[in-house]
Amino acid sequence: MLDNKLKEIGKRIQIRRKQQGYTQEQLAEMMNVSIQMVSNLERGNKAIRIDNLINLSQILDISTDYILTGKETTNDIELLTTQIIRLPAKDRRMIEMLVEYCLSEHK
């Protein structure tokens, strides 16, 4: 069971790293850890130390709650909102249409 949790955490780290446009090498450098450590975290082979978790959340601009549990916090939602606001109007409209579609699928 712990192995699955570590893999889920690793996947969230990997997804967020890619969303931020970082390579494993860049992230390792920013965290002051080895590339192997980042690779092991992303594959779920190693648990993350608390100090590295805090540092990682600051670098990736995401909550420790999200990294550990996948549950978004208010700050995570605010970050998404801020990112959407920065998009051109036509791209924001595409996101609105996608949200409307998803909501209609869950009625």
pLDDT value at residue 1: 61
Residue 105 has a pLDDT of: 87
Task: Tell me the C-alpha to C-alpha distance, in Å, between residue 90 and each of 6, 46, 72, 87, 93.
Answer: 38, 42, 26, 8, 5
Contact 7, 65 (CB under 8 A): no
- Cα Rg, the chain, nearest whole Å: 16
pLDDT tens readout for residues 35-70: 999 999 999 999 999 999 999 999 998 899 999 999
**pTM confidence score:** 0.72
82 or 33, which is more confident? 33
Q: Who contacts 37 (Cβ-Cβ below 8 Å, separation ≥6)?
A: 28, 31, 46
Domains along the chain with CATH numbers:
2-105 (1.10.260.40)
